[in-house]
Chains A and B, each alone.
Chain A
Amino acid sequence: MPAAALTHPAVRMARGFLRAHRRSVAVVLALSALESLPVLLSGVLLARALDQGFLAGRLLVGLAWLGALGAVMVLRAVVTRGLIPGLGAIVEPLRDALVTSVVTETLRRAVADTARPDGAGVARLTRQVETVRSLAAALLRSARQLGLSLVMALVGLAALAPVLALLGAVPIVLALAGCVPLLRTLGRRQQVLVTAEEALAGEAGDLLAGLRDVLACGARERAYRQLDVLIADAESAARRIAATNALIGLIVSGGGKLPALAVLVAAPGLSAGHGLTTGALVGAVTYLLTTVDPALRSMVEVLGSWGVELAAVLDRLARAGMLAEPPGPAGATTAVDRPAPAPHGRRPLGHGLTVDSVTFAYGPHAEPVIRALTLDIPEGTRLAVVGASGIGKSTLVELLAGLAVADRGEIRLDTVPLRELDPDALRESVRLLPQEGYVFSGTLRENLRQLRPDASDGELVRSAAIVGMAALIDRLGGLDARVGAGGHPLSAGERQLVALVRAHVCTARVILLDEATCHLDPSAEDRAEAAFAQRGGTVVVVAHRISSALRADRILLMDGDRTMAGTHAELLVASPHYADLVGHWNGTPTTGPGED
């Protein structure tokens, strides 16, 4: 194996995993050796039973030898009984580790905004993890047992007559050698199949997630044809694998069956020259045809199917970056990476924000989104941010929340620069609500007090009443109602209500609403924003409707280089662009409502 293969994430993961579970692995190995001992002894015991017992006309001696065989078999069953939970003790933690690693990595990347799989992507990952589990289980159950049986059978053969072991071993080794390159081909073809299956899963996931749009565009037939091609690709990839498998099967059958034939051809000479007894001959042929041949075939089959597939799927997961950290035993993984806590960990006293000539660009060569912005947001201010979409409103609130860091200049909470604040302390003071209303699987109560776990039901209900969520709670049947995956389905607006109440309950004195009310109808938005105004503290609203701006103490109009702040009246006079925005927001000035 080339050195590079050993540093492959899948190999690293496997090594790390086996190290972490070396006790379980050692137990399984020891029990496996014990389990295949009967295979070693069965040929010898059978030969004795025949030669000294039944063929010699002594029934009791024959039965005694068979009794010994039976005792060995009982031992084997006992060992197997202990062994299977041992296999589970390897496979189940492996699955736990994989699920943990996949979920952690997927979330980490999504939060870091590097990759964000959709529902189909998640389904694919789930399936791959499950494939690893069942393949590992099958491999452990079968290949382990078969391989050891094969070795034990050859040793047993040698115990009967060494020359028999030689006759048996040569074709087997040749067949195995012949299989190696074919197994490689199989591996490549398996990759093709996995890729084809992934393409199908990805495309089907996208098309089905966008089924409404497919139907609206009359693209149903085209969607069908598109998937049909991918289905056919997967089908032909499976067929090519079958061809390689059939060839491997032929070679292995040859290797498995030739030894018995060779022993029979050589038998007259062997019994004359090597004193091969009839019992030994029967034992040897029985070994070769009932143990060695099936074990060899099954083992190569198992390696060629499950083994190759396991390698392919692990490779896929590794390439997707899902095995970035070698997962240890379940539960032992540490908390997810966080930005390193600030060295000072200072705590602010007040809750005013100061933006001091801040410049921010997405990347070193990109045009700055925010250029030399200076702005004072005294404690208790209600500030509305308005401007065209894509002008940088969301970027500004992310800077205010400390989620993005200014390239130049700094933002201070009270007098403390944000970057010097402990991240947890910062979040306790400043809460940003994005547009999407996040609802997770759990009860309504759990969702509402996510940011303040000690909030009482009374506080939750009071906040809900103020924000305008009381009717929704009633409809869902109280705080115990389940929402999120497997719970009541909620509309986008209802999700936003949940997020709003969650923020209303929390202790932060600075609330940043980034279009967090955009799915509510205007009167509900009104009510929600009034709730935050009444709550006190500093509120910054990225305005979705002009009504938000009208309610604010101050307005920040973002307009590239012409960004300015002021009251509604001031801006109407100072900025034609603002006047224009307000005009459109209220209905175009030329065709006002109530025209006729």
Chain B
Amino acid sequence: MTAPITPATRLLAAATLHSPACFTAAALASVVGGASSLAIPRLLADLLDGLLAHRSQSGRLAVLALVLAVSASAAALGTLAGTAGGAAAVGWLRRGVVRRVLDAGLAGQRRYSAPDATGRLVGSCEEAGYAGIAVLDTLVSVATAAAGVVALWLIDWRPAAAFLLGVPLVHLTVRLFFRRTSAAFSRYQEIQADIAARLVDALAGVRSIRAGGTEAVERDRVLAPLAALSRAGAQIWHLQRSTAWQLGLLLPAIEILVLAVTGHGVIVGRISPGQLLAAGGYTALALGLFRQVDAILGLAGAAAAARRTAEVLGQPVPTRGERVLSGSPVGCAVVLRGVTTSIEGRTVLDRIDLSVPAGTSLAVVGRSGHGKSNLAALIGRLHDPDTGEVLLDGVPVGELGDEQLARCVAYAFERPALLGRTIRGTIGLGRPGAGEAVIERAARAARAHEFVRRLPDGYDTEPARAPLSGGETQRLGLARAFAQDARVVVLDDATSSLDTATEAEVGEALATAFADRTRIVVAHRASTAAGADRVAWLVDGRIRAVAPHARLWQDQDYRALFGVRTEDPCPQLP
């Protein structure tokens, strides 16, 4: 069977050879095991003939016992080394996938969502990691089986020829099965993923489901593909059935044919009774290969898993630089030059030129879906633009290393993910080794300190176990950005769930404590825009204007952005 060299095949080879010692030991054990299985029928034949001749066979019995012991030890060693090698291969693949997924960043996440990538990391890598050893075992089985045929041939060519008659048929059957099941498996896995995705959707909308009393309907909707899953499963069983039926007829037919030819050999005196026993043993050995439908099924699954792993590993990753931004830790200038971004063919940002002088603040406003968050994401290189460049103090962000970037740009998001094992770790995520005082100061500035103290274990509470509202979650995200103490602070709709009083307090804290930093705020409220030095107004992914809030306020369209329909240009002026 010649498999084409695909990335998946190459990956399997590399993973298996990752721990050469284990692989060598497993291979050695396999070969020794195969060799002893070959020796045993021959030893038995001699022994039986000797017994029939009534001679003492203690020497031969001792040799047989030794070979049986070696065969058992080889099997044990094979298990040990094979699993160790497989586990190492799994680890290697997983490290590779983790590295690749992290490096590919958010662009990679558009290709493989977090649950998908996690599934591949945990499931596909494991299956693929053990595939190499499984292939080795299968290869040795093939070799041993072939040697069994040769041994049979050495006893007498006729039974061997009888055996070989059946081989092409069996080969075809198994091969066909392999090809068909691989496709059936992929189909099965797709439907499974669909059910999981539907469940994730439903969990995201759980409050609506509770409010609507539609739990039973939702459950049925999630389970809707189950019938198709059953059909795909039945398809696999169907393939197994026809293969098992064909093999169940073929294999015994071969066995009986070989026995008949050998029996004839005994009658005409070509073959001794002992050799007849050996011939039976070698036939069984040769047939052993074909009895591994489950192993082959496993390989089909492993091939699909290897493909899924190779896909993730094969995705492009942006290069990262190592440059360090010089200068004192005050705000740095942010410049976007001719930046264009598109998502799934839709242009989100269109030739944006924007310059934010060091230490000033800029509000970014515009309707939903007009590119505000995308613009914010470019500054700290959460995304790369399709064309154009983003500069921090004149240095392209692509030339900065990870840690440098984090020191330059801090983010607070509308819905921050609370990572870390404790609230303290959550707030300190952007600043490793931050002391107690830094964390608490940041929490106070974000108006989070009070409620954190009321949590069951205060700053040591596990975020997942803390009962946090949307506003509280946002305040932890703000605290994290404040603690990061970066030269540019980007707030991407990070105060939307705060009540206006708290938002104003946080805004003040930002303006005071980070007065010398560059501040970029994606805003929905007029008050936020009013507080910034200048406002960048995005329409359809293009900059319509960059000016102070007061000047833009003259424009009726701008006012409409904030839901103000009055003709009065400045309703708040005394």
Contacts and interface: CB of A to CB of B under 8 A. Distances in A.
Contacts of A556: none
B230 A92 contact: yes
Contacts of A261: 61, 64-65, 68
B51 A268 contact: yes
A435 B79 contact: no
Contacts of B200: 118-119, 122, 485
Contacts of A290: 280-281, 284
Contact residues of B: prevailing secondary structure: helix
B458 interface: no
B115 A119 contact: yes
Nearest to B469: A390
A73 B76 contact: no
Contacts of A62: 260, 263, 267
Interface string B112-144: 011111110111001000000000000000000
Interface stretch (A6-14, A208-216, A350-358): A208-216
A37 B80 CA distance: 36
B10 to A, nearest CB: 22
Given A73-B256, A285-B44, A432 B211 contact: yes
Interface string A494-511: 100001000000000000
Contacts of A80: 244-245, 248
B499 A581 contact: yes
B179 interface: no
A435 B205 CA distance: 9
Given A261-B65, A486-B194, A95 B259 contact: no
B407 A218 contact: yes
B368 A524 contact: yes
A520 to B, nearest CB: 6
B548 interface: yes
A85 B211 contact: no
Contact residues of A: prevailing secondary structure: helix
B501 interface: yes
B546 interface: no
Contacts of A124: 122
B353 to A, nearest CB: 24
Interface string A305-337: 000000000000000000000000010000110
B122 A216 contact: no
Nearest to A38: B252
Q: How large is the interface on B (under 10, 10 to 19, 20 to 34, 35 or more residues)?
A: 35 or more
Interface string A198-217: 00110011111111111111
A592 B294 CA distance: 75
B513 interface: no
A188 interface: no
B203 interface: yes
Interface stretch (A16-24, A150-158, A438-446, A561-569): A438-446
A436 interface: yes
Nearest to B68: A257
A126 B560 contact: no
Contacts of B249: 73-74, 77
B196 interface: yes
Nearest to A423: B213
A177 B24 CA distance: 33
Contact of B273 (A123, A268, A282, A499): A282
A117 interface: yes
Nearest to A202: B118
Contacts, number: 510
A96 B203 contact: no
A519 interface: yes
A485 B531 CA distance: 40
A119 B71 contact: no
B338 interface: no
Nearest to B55: A268
B219 A389 contact: no
A238 interface: yes
B264 A107 contact: no
B264 A59 contact: yes
A50 B263 contact: yes
A247 interface: yes
A220 B402 contact: yes
Contact of B234 (A70, A88, A285, A435): A88
A372 interface: no
A588 B61 contact: no
Interface string B466-487: 0001111000010010001000
A350 B68 CA distance: 89
Contacts of B500: 546, 581, 584-585
A113 B215 CA distance: 13
Given A92-B233, A116-B206, A223 B553 contact: no
Interface stretch (A248-256, A375-383, A413-421, A533-541): A248-256
A227 B200 CA distance: 23
Contact of A122 (B47, B87, B199): B199
A49 interface: yes
Contacts of B226: 96, 99-100, 330
Nearest to A250: B76
B98 A116 contact: no
B474 to A, nearest CB: 9
A55 B273 contact: yes
Interface in A204-242: 204-224, 227-228, 231-232, 234-236, 238-239, 241-242
Given A211-B109, A224-B99, A264-B61, A389 B51 contact: no
Nearest to B99: A224
Nearest to A393: B499
B48 A110 contact: no
A449 interface: no
Contacts of B369: 491, 493-494
Interface in A35-75: 46, 49-50, 53-55, 57-59, 62-63, 66, 69-70, 73-74
Nearest to B113: A119
Contact of A84 (B244, B260, B525, B553): B244
A491 B548 CA distance: 29
A245 B114 contact: no
A592 B264 contact: no
Nearest to B87: A238
A201 B115 CA distance: 9
B324 interface: no
Given A85-B237, A108-B215, A434 B208 contact: yes
A250 B72 contact: yes
Contact of A127 (B40, B119, B266): B119
Contacts of A267: 51
Contacts of B194: 441, 485-486
A342 B240 CA distance: 53
B6 interface: no
A364 interface: no
B118 A213 contact: no
B198 A485 contact: yes
Interface string B76-92: 11011011101110110
B276 to A, nearest CB: 7
A213 B563 contact: no
B197 A403 contact: no
A586 B572 contact: yes
A103 B244 contact: no
Interface string A141-173: 110000000000000000000000000000000
B44 A212 contact: no
Contacts of A87: 237
A286 interface: yes
B86 A593 contact: no
Given A84-B244, A122-B115, A547 B563 contact: yes
Given A120-B118, A211-B105, A219-B406, 13 more contacts: A54-B264, A103-B223, A205-B114, A212-B382, A219-B432, A228-B95, A338-B213, A438-B205, A485-B200, A486-B197, A523-B561, A592-B530, A593-B570
18 contacts: A54-B276, A66-B260, A77-B249, A92-B233, A95-B233, A99-B223, A123-B196, A211-B101, A211-B114, A218-B430, A253-B72, A267-B51, A389-B469, A427-B212, A427-B213, A491-B369, A493-B368, A593-B530
